[in-house]
Amino acid sequence: MEKRDKAARNHKPIRLWVHAVGIICVWSLFIVISWVWLTQVIHSGTLETARIEARTAFRNDLIYRLWNANHGGVYAPVTLKTPPNKYLEPLNREIQTPEGITLTKINPAYMTRQAHEIAAQTYGHKGHITSLTPICPQNAPDPWETMALKQFENGETEVSSLEIMDGTDHLRLMRPLITEKKCLTCHAEQGYKQGDIRGGISISIPMAAHEAIEKANIMTLSLIYIFFWITGLIGTFLSIFFLNRQIRRRHSAEDQLLQHEKMEGAMEMAGAVCHELNQPLQMILGNSEIMLLDLEPDHPMAKRIIRIQEQVKRMSQTTRNLIKITRYETKQFPQGTVIDIDMASTNDKTKK
């Protein structure tokens, strides 16, 4: 019984540590999965920020283009950088001021190209106005733009993706340019009608700055995650450690209780034995005293009676010891374990 108890108890702490390993695995898995998920969220946030930047650039293009188209083109002085647009109708393309300055008509697309040059130099955004059927060869689409323009024909309103341009990451975003009534002044002759997709503007945002922010965010996230992960590990270890200690303490308390119960049983038994034995022993002693009185001191029987008395006294000493039992002490006999009355009835634990 005792052995089985101990086996069951020894088993528990091991199972606790197995649980701990399980908890740590689940915790680590949770950390890894949520970390991967959050880095994905951060990454798509980065892409969305770049997309917003591209959309803003596109909208700005639309605004000044509309302003230009509303005027049917605007005039600017002819310079080396701004030669007359040979694709524009020659009528009224160049005009002279009374002072003799030559002005040339700037159509929206021409203005867009020049604005894009400024944007590229100032902000690093690359803009390109293009069409599947370009009037000007410079506006011919690259393969990515061709793909996007074809998607616009199928009803798509925005195409964007992460691409490598000049060896670095760029977010490319393209939106269509729809033919409006005021565009027809110049584009009706190519057969365009109101509502047709005339082409599109693609904006390419360099990702370096965005990626640096993303890297810093992921770094912060990782540090927080490492902190949480380690806190989780320490928490698991500590709780298992304290749980183990508590279980051990409870077991030793249970052991003490068991000993106490055994002791009580032994004491009750001892009380009964004392009570039952004392009287017969007193009788033997009393009778042997009387026998001694009748005998001469040197009578051979007298010695034997004295021997009997000695043994009886030993027995009553043992019964007295029995009542004094305070601890559960055992000794081994070939027949098995028995209570060591001498050891159990003394206050000195070290006595052997």
Cβ nearer to ligand HEC, comparing 104 with 107 = 107
Least distance (Å) from ligand HEC to the CB of residue 190? 8
Q: Judged by CB under 6 A, does residue 69 bind ligand HEC? A: yes
Whichever of 139 and 204 has its CB closer to ligand HEC, that residue is 139
Residue nearest to ligand HEC (CB): 183
Closer of 177 and 339 to ligand HEC (Cβ): 177
Residue closer to ligand HEC by CB (options 46, 104) is 104
Q: Which residues contact 337 (CB under 8 A, 6 or more apart)?
A: 330, 331
CA-CA-CA-CA torsion sign (333, 338, 339, 342): negative
Residue 177 is encoded by which pair of tokens? 């340019």
What are the distances in angstroms from CA 117 to CA 51, 54, 57, 127, 311?
20, 15, 13, 8, 124
Nearer to ligand HEC, 150 or 304 (CB): 150
**In the complex, minimum distance from the CB of residue 187 to ligand HEC, in angstroms, rounded to a whole number:** 6
User: Over the range 154-178, which residues count as b (16 or more CB within 10 Å of their CB) and which as e?
Assistant: eeeebbbeeeeeeeeebbbbbbbbb
Task: Give the per-residue contact string, 204-243, with ligand HEC (x = CB under 6 A; - = no).
Answer: ----------------------------------------
How far apart, in whole angstroms, are the C-alpha atoms of residue 197 and residue 182? Answer: 14
Residues 6+ apart with CB under 8 A from 62: none
User: Of 153-192, which residues contact ligand HEC (CB under 6 A)?
Assistant: 177, 179-180, 182-183, 185-187
Taken as a whole, the chain contains a residue count of: 352
Tell me which residue has tokens 């690359």: 126
Closer to ligand HEC at the Cβ: 9 or 182? 182
Contact 171, 204 (CB under 8 A): yes
Binding status of residue 198 toward ligand HEC by CB under 6 A: yes
199 binds ligand HEC (CB under 6 A): yes
User: Is there a contact between 181 and 194 (Cβ–Cβ < 8 Å)?
Assistant: yes
- Write the interaction track for ligand HEC spanning residues 71-110; mark x where CB under 6 A is met and - where it is not: -xx-----------x-xx------------------xxxx
Q: Among residues 136, 165, 291, 343, which is the contact residue for ligand HEC, using CB under 6 A?
A: 136
For 73, counting Cβ atoms within 10 Å of its Cβ (0-12 exposed, 13-18 middle, 19+ buried), the class is buried
Binding residues for ligand HEC, total number by CB under 6 A: 28
Binding residues for ligand HEC (CB under 6 A): 65, 69, 72-73, 85, 87-88, 107-110, 129-131, 134-136, 139, 177, 179-180, 182-183, 185-187, 198-199
